[in-house]
Amino acid sequence: MKVSDAPFAAIDFESAGTAPGLTDEPVQIAIVHCSEKRESVVLNSHLRPSRPVTWAAQQVHGISDEQLKSAPLLVDLWPSVKASLEGRWIVAHGASTEKRFLNIFPFHGFGPWVDTLPLTRALYPSLPSHALGEAVAALGLLDEIEFLGFRWHDAASDALASLVLLRHLIKAGGLSEEPAEILTRPSLKAYFAGRRKSRRLA
């Protein structure tokens, strides 16, 4: 399968935050599909955790305990999650959190995974920051994502931003006609070489 033929689904979670003695849990999930250069939100829901949201996490995403009282559990959304991700290449920026939260569904088999964080590092190793918001801004992509209601650290907004970033990376790297597997193994030689050089100059 070529990159241009791969069906993508971006996923993003917002979390309850970490604190001593507390296991992190998701409080929002969103999945956005990409087809024919268009994105569509197919799942967007708050999630009810078993513990309070930390103050620090609330300052980041603005989701309060009050908003989550009647939200579903992540396991309740399994049919929707399965229908939204099955048969698609899963996109996330720094995918470790998404993979970890999806482990609540053992042997789900979703993937292959396309992590836009190492892809951005591979294609733009000298960016000051490769965080999603900073990378999108540095690459001039804000006009493509700033619609009414867009807000960083909202799961649907961040999932959409990762797809817009992926589309840009595919175009900038001339990857459209390459085998889709190339997206899962970007070369980070230039990125790490740049980091070593920066340390020597510091």
List, for residues 10-24, the tens digit of each pLDDT value: 999 999 998 887 789
| Residue 12: closest CA among 64, 90, 83 | 90
For 3-201, CATH number? 3.30.420.10
Q: At what angle do helices 155-172 and 116-123 cross, to 10 degrees?
A: 40
Please count the other Cβ atoms lying within 10 Å of the Cβ belonging to residue 105: 15
Report the predicted TM-score, pTM, of the whole model to 2 decimal places.
Answer: 0.90
List, for residues 172-200, the tens digit of each pLDDT value: 999 999 999 999 988 767 656 666 655 55
Divide the 202 residues of the chain into consecutive groups of 10 and give the mean pLDDT of each group: 94 93 92 82 96 93 95 96 96 96 90 96 94 96 80 94 95 92 82 60 51
Distance CA 66, CA 89 (A): 34
